[in-house]
Amino acid sequence: MQDVIFNGASSRKPVGRAMVELVFDNSLGRALGQWSQYAEIAVKRIVERDGDSSYFINNLHVRRRDVVDLFL
């Protein structure tokens, strides 16, 4: 995952993390469990340079397993 973190350039300093967020339309309520009530579901992952990752669903800090379960 180190490849996704910007290493810098001659005119820009390197950064310590990368973040990606995907927003899914759930207006038909197809997501199961506690997420079925939301019209949109945002899934975010932040990867730190040291290899640590943080996961979020609708800005709520969750486990990786919770993200996996959302899509199963």
- pLDDT the model gives residue 12: 93
Phi-psi region of 7 (alpha: psi -120 to 50; beta: other; left: phi over 0): alpha
Quote the pTM value: 0.85
* Residues 1, 48 contacting (CB under 8 angstroms): no
In the numeric block, which tokens belong to residue 58?
């609708």
Q: What's 54's domain CATH number?
A: 3.40.50.300
If you count them, how many residues does the chain have?
Answer: 72
For 19-57, how does the pLDDT look when each residue is reduced to its tens digit (9 = 90+)? 999 999 999 989 888 899 999 999 999 999 998 999 999
Domain span at residue 52? Answer: 2-70
Strand 17-25 and strand 60-62: pairing? unpaired
pLDDT tier, 2 (very low <50, low <70, confident <90, very high otherwise)? low
- The residues that bridge with 3 in the sheet, in sequence order, are none
Q: Could you give the number of structural domains in the chain?
A: 1
